[in-house]
Amino acid sequence: MMMHPTAVAYLHEITQSLMGRIEAKTPEANAWLKMGV
């Protein structure tokens, strides 16, 4: 997937924010981490 570095950084920030909230509640969070999102 091609994306602008800024967009990647922005999505990364959002992902990290979400991980902090649902890491222990949603198994999919681990799947996302394995995917390198």
For the chain of 37 residues, list the mean pLDDT of each consecutive stretch of 10.
80 84 65 71
pLDDT given for residue 25 in this prediction: 60
Tokens of 5: 């570095």
pLDDT given for residue 23 in this prediction: 59
Give the structural domain span for 26: 5-35
pLDDT given for residue 3 in this prediction: 66
pLDDT given for residue 29 in this prediction: 66
Q: Which helix (H) or strand (E) holds 3?
A: none
pLDDT given for residue 37 in this prediction: 55
pTM of the model: 0.40
Domains held by the chain: number: 1
- Residue identified by tokens 């979400």 is 18
pLDDT given for residue 24 in this prediction: 55
